[in-house]
């Protein structure tokens, strides 16, 4: 949470602050190391100044004469916020010397730096992958810094492999005169040896020291109900600790909504004289504008009023792991979190010790802070630290007896040292499409930092060929990859491509893009939205319902010409206006992308959108759209069993329809789902009804006809899916 009473620091203030950072005194030595090695691995405590200072050091040392210095981030919110900070430190507007490019938002000057273009450019891993698709040598850059490499996201692993290959080509005669490419791989805690080995024995250096001390407190006993523990801890901090904002890590939107409601309710019971608590959500599916709002300082004309209000409020930012790294949220002094981490929509696992250290580090960014771990010290310390010297133990800590955790049932196991690389944890179909679109011909031999299991890779290749059968490999992958970002909500830019865009490649661009765009919908107002959904409900399911809502919004807002009207309409219908705006914006981008790629309805024409479709779709349109969705999402199909439950066709899991679904009381025999969530049982969310027979038609490589019937147990076993994808139900 930004300390809203803060006055803007001057350039001199910022320079003085920079000089106090641990990395400042190491800058000459650091530049010597960079000069001596093609690739350098840099480690250092969180807050030592790596993300903000290293690009500025390279710029000051003249590297930007030969091209931009790029810095990759796993998350868009961090890329934008770092660009703003570094622009302020360079006393320039964002988009000039310092800029950024994230999905659906960019601000940079394309000219080469020596002709006045952007010299320091923050990008997400996903955006760099897209740049590499059109320029594999990345010739616009003289140096690239891969930040938070320890997170081992799929996208950053692929980026590292591509950078290694770009370096080799630029070293050779194939370099096209682009010159050498410097690479700095950095993070706070990381598997140095893995990176050094991958880059053929690259040297590693460590920056010592941290900016501000963080006192770490652990729960005296394991807590059974972690949300309850979070809420009580926030209230205790609010009442007992000195001023300062609170950052709470939770596992996902649902927990954030529940915690926010509970904090609000509990805060209402405090005496009237007591300061109030402001819960502020921060998660990836929140619209970019709302994310930045949670971080941004108040506009100048409101600062005074807020300054007074600030004395009476303790903002509590309730965030997912989006806030774990690279973000400085000014004003945050307290950090609280349990060991639970959401792996995907299905699973919650304990965080790693490396992630725990990162989270604690969020408290010490701008002043001394406190970290409340809602699990025991034993849980953290149970495993001896590895020989990786970077993982420092926190100082001996007092037990946090005041914490509310009840009972002694351990709810988490001992923490792992570091999280397993994403490449080993999820379906690889998105990666495969991405690699194919980048022109990687032999995906099976691609040089991964940690090679995924060969069978998983082969399965992903098979799936991608099912999706893209009508097109040639490279072209179809490029199209699918280019069209897909709007289809993802929770993983933000880390996933530049996914089979979900395949619907677009089938020429149903406009309706598909609108539906996909609505998948950005946060679930924060689900109850009110559910009521209004009833009014818009389509028998085709939630996706078609969503399409109907967006169409009606388009009509109400005059296709964007009367946004005020649109907003009033959205509020009157209990719809999230920001989400609708984001949906329309994403749809516009997807339509533009489809036009650029020459996709369209037969004659190549791409309709502008669904402005004319304020009425429900005709039954022919509904069939066409649902068939297209089946072609794109066939991996996420489920069929009803005689018992009334459903079974997913690929992973064979027993699942139920989520109560919020338009199909809850109308149990269609065969459905596609967008998401699996586990609460009391495993639920499918965001459903579309389809005909089981379509699956064999749209994905013949994958399904034999009769597969769906076989899965329910009602037909002979001849109709099984031809293959199973590694990784169970977590395809997303
Ligand atoms: P590291 O990458 O080593 O974790 P950073 O370069 O991100 O460190 O941040 C170094 C310091 O710069 C932070 O501790 C904080 O004091 C300051 N800083 C960085 N970003 C911001 C920001 N957006 N607003 C205010 N201060 C910031």
CATH code for the domain in which residue 156 is found: 3.40.50.300
Cα 51 to middle of ligand 1, angstroms: 7
Q: What is the mean pLDDT of residues 712-724?
A: 35
Q: Is 569 helix (H, G, I), strand (E, B) or coil?
A: helix
- Looking at the CA of residue 53, tell me the nearest atom of ligand 1: 6
- Looking at the CA of residue 295, tell me the nearest atom of ligand 1: 23
Q: Indicate whether residue 50 lines ligand 1 (CB < 6 A).
A: yes
Q: For 471-522, how does the pLDDT look when each residue is reduced to its tens digit (9 = 90+)?
A: 334 444 444 444 433 333 333 322 323 333 333 333 333 344 434 434 334 4
Q: What is the 3-state secondary structure (H, E, C) of 19-48?
A: HHCHHHHCHHHHHHHHHHCCEEEEEECCCC
Cα 180 to middle of ligand 1, angstroms: 29
Q: What is the model's pLDDT at position 524?
A: 55
Q: Indicate whether residue 43 lines ligand 1 (CB < 6 A).
A: no
Q: What is the model's pLDDT at position 434?
A: 63
Residue bearing the bigger pLDDT, 334 or 165: 165
Candidate from 150, 328, 362, 369 with most ligand 1 atoms within 8 A of CB, to mutate: 328
Residue bearing the bigger pLDDT, 347 or 436: 436
Q: What is the model's pLDDT at position 63?
A: 96
Q: Is the domain of 538 the same as that of 640?
A: no
Cα 47 to middle of ligand 1, angstroms: 6
Q: What is the model's pLDDT at position 80?
A: 92
Share of the chain above pLDDT 90, in %: 19
Q: Which of 334, 364, 380 is the last residue of a domain?
A: 380
Q: Is residue 2 part of a domain?
A: no
Residue bearing the bigger pLDDT, 101 or 383: 101
- The HSE-up count of residue 714 (CA atoms within 13 Å, CB side) is 13
Q: What is the model's pLDDT at position 708?
A: 52
Q: Is the domain of 190 the same as that of 83?
A: yes
Q: What is the model's pLDDT at position 464?
A: 63
Q: Is residue 658 part of a domain?
A: yes
Under the banding of pLDDT at 50, 70 and 90, the label for residue 270 is: confident
From 106-115, 356-365, 674-683, the region with the lowest mean pLDDT: 356-365
Q: Which of 320, 346, 380 is the last residue of a domain?
A: 380
pLDDT at 467 over 90: no
Under the banding of pLDDT at 50, 70 and 90, the label for residue 418 is: low
Q: What is the model's pLDDT at position 501?
A: 38
Q: How far apart are CA 698 and CA 107, in angstroms?
A: 40
Q: How far apart are CA 361 and CA 48, in angstroms?
A: 10
Q: What is the model's pLDDT at position 238?
A: 82
Under the banding of pLDDT at 50, 70 and 90, the label for residue 377 is: confident
- Looking at the CA of residue 147, tell me the nearest atom of ligand 1: 2
Q: Is residue 719 part of a domain?
A: no
The answer to whether the beta carbons of residues 555 and 548 sit under 8 Å apart is: no
Residue minimizing CA distance to atom 12 of ligand 1: 49
pLDDT at 351 over 60: yes
The number of domains in the chain is: 4
Q: Is residue 443 part of a domain?
A: no
Q: Indicate whether residue 49 lines ligand 1 (CB < 6 A).
A: yes
Q: Indicate whether residue 48 lines ligand 1 (CB < 6 A).
A: yes
Q: What is the model's pLDDT at position 688?
A: 94
Q: How far apart are CA 670 and CA 649, in angstroms?
A: 10
Q: What is the model's pLDDT at position 192?
A: 84
Q: Indicate whether residue 44 lines ligand 1 (CB < 6 A).
A: yes
Q: What is the mean pLDDT of residues 442-454?
A: 80
Q: Is the domain of 623 the same as that of 641?
A: no
From 109-118, 186-195, 721-730, the region with the lowest mean pLDDT: 721-730
Cα 49 to middle of ligand 1, angstroms: 6
Q: Indicate whether residue 21 lines ligand 1 (CB < 6 A).
A: yes
Which domain range does residue 85 map to?
A: 11-207
Q: For 148-157, how does the pLDDT look when each residue is reduced to its tens digit (9 = 90+)?
A: 888 887 788 8
Q: Is the domain of 234 the same as that of 331?
A: yes
- Looking at the CA of residue 17, tell me the nearest atom of ligand 1: 16
Cα 297 to middle of ligand 1, angstroms: 15
Q: Is the domain of 201 the same as that of 238?
A: no
Q: Is the domain of 487 the same as that of 508?
A: yes
Q: Is the domain of 264 the same as that of 181?
A: no
Q: Is 246 helix (H, G, I), strand (E, B) or coil?
A: strand
Q: Is residue 674 part of a domain?
A: yes
Q: Is residue 573 part of a domain?
A: yes
Residue bearing the bigger pLDDT, 31 or 487: 31
Q: Indicate whether residue 46 lines ligand 1 (CB < 6 A).
A: yes
pLDDT at 331 over 60: no
- Looking at the CA of residue 207, tell me the nearest atom of ligand 1: 3
Which of 346-360, 596-610, 706-720 has the largest mean confidence?
A: 346-360
Cα 97 to middle of ligand 1, angstroms: 19
Q: How far apart are CA 474 and CA 307, in angstroms?
A: 56
Q: Is the domain of 621 the same as that of 701?
A: no
Residue bearing the bigger pLDDT, 715 or 453: 453
Under the banding of pLDDT at 50, 70 and 90, the label for residue 309 is: very low
Under the banding of pLDDT at 50, 70 and 90, the label for residue 66 is: very high
CA quadruple 263, 266, 269, 270: dihedral sign: negative
Residue minimizing CA distance to atom 21 of ligand 1: 328
Q: What is the mean pLDDT of residues 257-286?
A: 79
Q: Is the domain of 679 the same as that of 570?
A: no
Q: Which of 575, 596, 628 is the last residue of a domain?
A: 628
Query: Other CB atoms closer than 10 Å to residue 385's CB: what's the count?
Result: 13
Q: What is the model's pLDDT at position 727?
A: 23
653: burial class by Cβ within 10 Å (0-12, 13-18, 19+)?
Answer: middle
Q: Indicate whether residue 85 lines ligand 1 (CB < 6 A).
A: yes
Q: Where are the alpha helices (DSSP H) in 473-576?
A: 473-483, 502-505, 509-518, 526-536, 542-556, 563-572
Q: How far apart are CA 262 and CA 441, in angstroms?
A: 52
Under the banding of pLDDT at 50, 70 and 90, the label for residue 704 is: low
Q: What is the mean pLDDT of residues 713-719?
A: 34
The answer to whether the beta carbons of residues 477 and 433 sit under 8 Å apart is: yes
Q: Indicate whether residue 52 lines ligand 1 (CB < 6 A).
A: yes
Q: What is the mean pLDDT of residues 144-165?
A: 88
* pTM for this model (two decimals): 0.63
Report the candidate in 336, 337, 395 with the shortest Cα–Cα distance to residue 213.
395
Q: What is the mean pLDDT of residues 664-670?
A: 88
Q: What is the model's pLDDT at position 588?
A: 77
Q: What is the model's pLDDT at position 322?
A: 63
Candidate from 10, 24, 52, 359 with most ligand 1 atoms within 8 A of CB, to mutate: 52
Q: Is the domain of 55 the same as that of 182?
A: yes
The answer to whether the beta carbons of residues 652 and 668 sit under 8 Å apart is: no
Residue minimizing CA distance to atom 10 of ligand 1: 49
Q: Where are the alpha helices (DSSP H) in 537-678?
A: 542-556, 563-572, 577-596, 619-633
Under the banding of pLDDT at 50, 70 and 90, the label for residue 548 is: confident
Q: What is the model's pLDDT at position 545?
A: 84
Q: Indicate whether residue 81 lines ligand 1 (CB < 6 A).
A: yes
Which of 271-275, 363-367, 505-509, 614-618 has the largest mean confidence?
A: 271-275
pLDDT at 314 over 70: no
Q: What is the model's pLDDT at position 51?
A: 94
DSSP string, 665-694: TS--SEEEEEEEEESSSEEEEEEEE--HHH
Q: Is residue 253 part of a domain?
A: yes
Q: What is the mean pLDDT of residues 581-605?
A: 68
DSSP 205: E
What CA dihedral angle connects 498, 502, 508 and 511, to 10 degrees? -30
707: burial class by Cβ within 10 Å (0-12, 13-18, 19+)?
Answer: buried
Mean pLDDT of all residues belonging to the chain: 71
Q: Is residue 413 part of a domain?
A: no
Q: What is the mean pLDDT of residues 219-224?
A: 73
> Strand 670-678 and strand 682-689: pairing?
antiparallel
Q: What is the mean pLDDT of residues 23-39?
A: 93
From 117-131, 293-307, 491-505, 547-561, the region with the lowest mean pLDDT: 491-505
Q: What is the model's pLDDT at position 381?
A: 66
Cα 50 to middle of ligand 1, angstroms: 8
Q: How far apart are CA 687 and CA 299, in angstroms?
A: 41
From 69-73, 251-255, 716-720, the region with the lowest mean pLDDT: 716-720
Q: Is the domain of 31 the same as that of 79?
A: yes
Under the banding of pLDDT at 50, 70 and 90, the label for residue 56 is: very high
Cα 587 to middle of ligand 1, angstroms: 34
ipTM: 0.97
Cα 328 to middle of ligand 1, angstroms: 5
Q: What is the model's pLDDT at position 275?
A: 73
Q: Is the domain of 114 the same as that of 194?
A: yes
Q: What is the model's pLDDT at position 518?
A: 46
Q: What is the model's pLDDT at position 603?
A: 46
Q: What is the model's pLDDT at position 8?
A: 61
Q: What is the mean pLDDT of residues 309-336?
A: 58
């Amino acid at each position: 949470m930004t300390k809203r009473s803060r006055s803007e620091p001057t350039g001199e203030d910022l320079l003085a602050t920079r000089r106090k950072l641990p990395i400042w005194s190491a800058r000459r030595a650091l530049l010597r190391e960079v000069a001596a090695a093609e690739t350098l691995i840099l480690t250092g405590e969180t807050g030592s100044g790596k993300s903000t200072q290293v690009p500025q050091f390279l710029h000051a040392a003249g590297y930007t004469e030969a091209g931009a210095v790029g810095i990759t981030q796993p998350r868009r919110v961090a890329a934008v916020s770092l660009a703003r900070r570094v622009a302020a430190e360079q006393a320039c507007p964002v988009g000039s010397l310092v800029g950024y490019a994230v999905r659906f938002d960019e601000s940079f000057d394309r000219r080469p730096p020596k002709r006045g273009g952007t010299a320091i450019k923050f990008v997400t891993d996903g955006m760099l992958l897209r740049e590499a698709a059109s320029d594999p040598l990345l010739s616009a850059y003289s140096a690239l810094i891969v930040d938070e490499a320890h997170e081992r996201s799929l996208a950053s692993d692929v980026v590292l492999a591509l950078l290694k290959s770009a370096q080799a080509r630029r070293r050779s005669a194939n370099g096209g005169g682009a010159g050498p490419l410097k690479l700095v791989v950095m993070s706070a805690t990381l598997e140095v040896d893995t990176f050094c080995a991958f880059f053929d024995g690259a040297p590693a250096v460590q920056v010592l020291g941290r900016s501000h001390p963080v006192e770490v407190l652990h729960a005296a006993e394991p807590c059974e109900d972690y949300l309850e523990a979070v809420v009580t801890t926030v209230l205790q901090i609010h009442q007992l600790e000195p001023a300062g904002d609170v950052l709470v890590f939770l596992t996902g939107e649902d927990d954030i909504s529940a915690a926010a409601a509970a904090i609000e309710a509990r805060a209402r019971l405090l005496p009237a004289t007591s300061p109030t608590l402001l819960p502020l959500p921060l998660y990836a599916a929140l619209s970019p504008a709302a994310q930045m709002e949670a971080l941004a300082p108040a506009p100048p004309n409101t600062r005074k009023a807020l300054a007074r209000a600030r004395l009476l409020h303790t903002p509590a930012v309730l965030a997912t792991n989006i806030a774990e790294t690279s973000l400085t949220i000014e004003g945050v002094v307290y950090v609280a979190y349990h060991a639970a981490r959401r792996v995907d929509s299905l699973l919650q696992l304990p965080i790693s010790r490396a992630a725990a250290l990162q989270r604690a580090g969020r408290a010490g960014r701008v002043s001394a802070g406190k970290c409340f771990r809602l699990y025991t010290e034993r849980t953290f310390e149970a495993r001896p630290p590895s020989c990786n010297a970077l993982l420092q133990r926190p100082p001996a800590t007092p037990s946090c007896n005041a914490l509310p955790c009840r009972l002694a049932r351990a709810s988490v196991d001992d923490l792992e040292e570091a999280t397993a690389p994403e490449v080993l944890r999820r379906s690889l179909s998105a990666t495969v499409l991405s690699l194919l679109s980048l022109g990687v011909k032999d995906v099976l031999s691609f040089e991964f930092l940690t090679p995924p299991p060969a069978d998983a890779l082969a399965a992903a290749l098979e799936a991608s060929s099912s999706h893209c059968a009508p097109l040639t490999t490279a072209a179809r992958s490029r199209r699918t990859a280019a069209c897909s970002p709007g289809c993802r909500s929770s993983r933000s830019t880390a996933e530049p491509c996914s089979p979900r865009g395949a619907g677009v490649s089938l020429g149903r661009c406009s309706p598909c893009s609108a539906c996909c765009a609505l998948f950005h919908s946060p679930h924060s107002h689900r109850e009110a939205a559910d009521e209004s959904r009833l009014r818009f409900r389509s028998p085709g399911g939630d996706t078609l319902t969503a399409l109907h809502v967006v169409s009606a919004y388009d009509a109400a807002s005059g296709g964007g010409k009367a946004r005020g009207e649109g907003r009033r309409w959205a509020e009157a219908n209990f719809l999230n206006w920001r989400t609708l705006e984001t949906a329309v914006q994403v749809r516009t981008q997807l339509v533009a992308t489809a036009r650029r790629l020459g996709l369209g309805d037969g004659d190549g024409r791409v309709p502008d959108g669904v402005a004319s479709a304020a009425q429900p779709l005709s039954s022919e349109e509904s069939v066409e759209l649902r068939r297209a969705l089946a072609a794109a999402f066939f991996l996420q199909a489920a069929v009803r069993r005689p018992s009334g439950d459903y079974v997913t066709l690929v992973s064979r899991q027993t699942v139920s329809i989520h109560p919020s679904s338009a199909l809850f009381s109308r149990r269609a025999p065969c459905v596609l789902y967008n998401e699996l969530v586990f609460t009391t049982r495993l639920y499918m969310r965001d459903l579309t009804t389809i005909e089981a027979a379509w699956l064999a038609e749209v994905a013949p490589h994958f399904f034999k006809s009769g597969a769906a019937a076989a899965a329910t147990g009602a037909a002979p076993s001849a109709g099984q899916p031809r293959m199973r994808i590694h990784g169970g139900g977590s395809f997303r």
